[in-house]
Amino acid sequence: MTQPRHSFAPVMDHEIHVTEWGSRDKPALLMMHGLARTGRDFDELAAGLSQDWHVLCPDMIGRGLSSWSANGKDEYRVEYYAGVTSDLMDHFGIERAAWLGTSLGGQIGMHLASSLHADRITCLLLNDIGPEVPTAAIERVLSYAGDSPQFTSYAEAEIWLRRAYATFGPAAEGFWSRMTRSSLRRRDDGKLTLHYDPGILYQLVVAPDEMTRWDRWERIEVPCHLFRGGRSDLMPAKVAERMKQSGPKLGETVLPECGHAPTLSRPADITRVGEVLARLAG
């Protein structure tokens, strides 16, 4: 299996941690994680695609090993994240890239693909996210992401994470143990907590309007594909159907045993993502 490389890129007064897979002479593929997650969630998928792609999996600001914002009210927003990503592409000398985004990562991708940066995105793969997020789903996310729990051990934290993210659906044991290691940070008192700035929740609480942007969807022209958890409350079938009837032509893969959001870490999932990328970006 290809081994990752780690770097820290200075972007927009921040330091962005990037896990990088594959050769830089391959076509670029950017993978962006969900709201309270990190780029390490894509380890299995990135490794599986790295023979054909130069894969970059950043930790967005406020998450993982990337820097936190001192001005979260203005910076922990989709528009700012899109600017960070565009500058990150410049840092790596990437003119155009395929995009795969889970949840928030998909929203950032939709922003880029509907903006002045649209020509930088070759295709858009959305993992369980669309231009409309039900209010009940937002409240569920806040119920665990806003908790800021504390743990005395990694074993205790893994039990909590498995429960909180049970909607991810089936995944190998190695996924959960590695997810635990990359999801935690040590506090000053020695206890463990989740590896993100609680301020990242600002947009969901104060500016939820960003969660519904059909106008953005209508402007997208790049090829798109939706991976949807069959049990997802955040990406209901009715929203997927509306997406098929408007905006770009949309293909869909439903993972019936998953909720929000599929890990795309199983061998069959990795194969399917590779097939979609080859078709849309080819």
Instruction: Return d(Cα 39, Cα 17) in angstroms, integer.
Output: 9
248 vs 225: CA distance, rounded Å = 10
The residue that leads in pLDDT, 139 or 94, is 94
Contact at 8 Å (CB) between 202 and 73?
yes
Tell me the C-alpha distance between 188 and 195, whole Å: 13
Of 37-51, 72-86, 196-210, which range is least confident? Answer: 196-210
Neighbours of 112 (CB within 10 A): 28
Mean pLDDT of 144-148: 75
Q: pLDDT-derived band of residue 202, with 50, 70 and 90 as boundaries?
A: confident
3-state secondary structure of 220: coil
pLDDT for 15-59, tens place per residue?
A: 999 999 999 999 999 999 999 999 999 999 999 999 999 999 999
149-187 burial, b at 16+ Cβ within 10 Å, e below that, comes to eebeeeeebbebbeebbebbbebeeebbebbbebbbeee
C-alpha 224/C-alpha 281 separation (Å) is: 10
pLDDT digit string, tens, across residues 216-259 = 999 999 999 999 999 999 999 999 999 999 999 899 999 999 99
Helices (H), 43-103: 43-49, 72-75, 78-91
Q: What confidence tier does 264 reach under pLDDT thresholds 50, 70, 90?
A: very high
Range of the domain at 82: 5-281
Element (H, E) at 55: strand 54-58
Q: Is 41 within 8 Å of 64 (Cβ atoms)?
A: no
Number of domains in the chain: 1
**Whole-model pTM?**
0.96
Q: What is the CATH number of the domain that holds 156?
A: 3.40.50.1820
State yes or no: pLDDT of 184 exceeds 80: yes
End-to-end CA distance of the chain: 24
